[in-house]
Amino acid sequence: MVRTVLSVVAGIVAWVVIATAINYAMRHAWPEYAGVEKAMNFTLPMMLARLAESTIALVAAAIVTARIAPASPYAPWALGLVMLLCFLPVHYSIWDKFPIWYHAYFLSSLVLVSGIVGRLAQQKN
């Protein structure tokens, strides 16, 4: 149980570090993105880039979680559920800034991507 909890915490830390690094790179490589980030007035390519950023970070986070707790079938799903619970209030507060498909993809991917990728990573062990 302790290993499962620690794996979820490690997955969250991995997601934050990777998403932050990608976002930092996007801001420096894409001046238009940096210019609208504070106002969250993103174009379609910018929104897709943000979703890709999150998905890449989530895949890595799920693998980290799965590698730390390879015997726990619940760890990858727990990662997704905890991430979802953390991001629900955030997305509620920015609901009018993004189209519904953006919220639907981001929020559902937290659970689905982490659960599926994590289980696949565990099966490889």
Give dist(CA 46, CA 53) in Å, integer.
Answer: 10
Q: Cα torsion for 66, 23, 92, 76, to the nearest 10°?
A: 0
Helix (H, G, I), strand (E, B) or coil at 1: coil
**pLDDT per residue as tens digits for the range 58-73:** 999 999 999 999 999 9
Note the pTM of the prediction, 2 decimals. 0.93
What is the enclosing helix (H) or strand (E) of 90?
helix 75-93
Give dist(CA 110, CA 104) in Å, integer.
Answer: 10
Non-local (6+) Cβ contacts of 78 within 8 A are: 4, 8
- Judged against a pLDDT cut of 90, whether residue 124 lies above it is answered with no
Radius of gyration for the alpha carbons in the chain, expressed in angstroms and rounded? 15
The confidence band for 41, taking pLDDT boundaries of 50, 70 and 90, is very high
pLDDT confidence of residue 28 = 97
**pLDDT per residue as tens digits for the range 47-59:** 999 999 999 999 9
CA angle 20, 8, 51 (to 5 degrees): 40
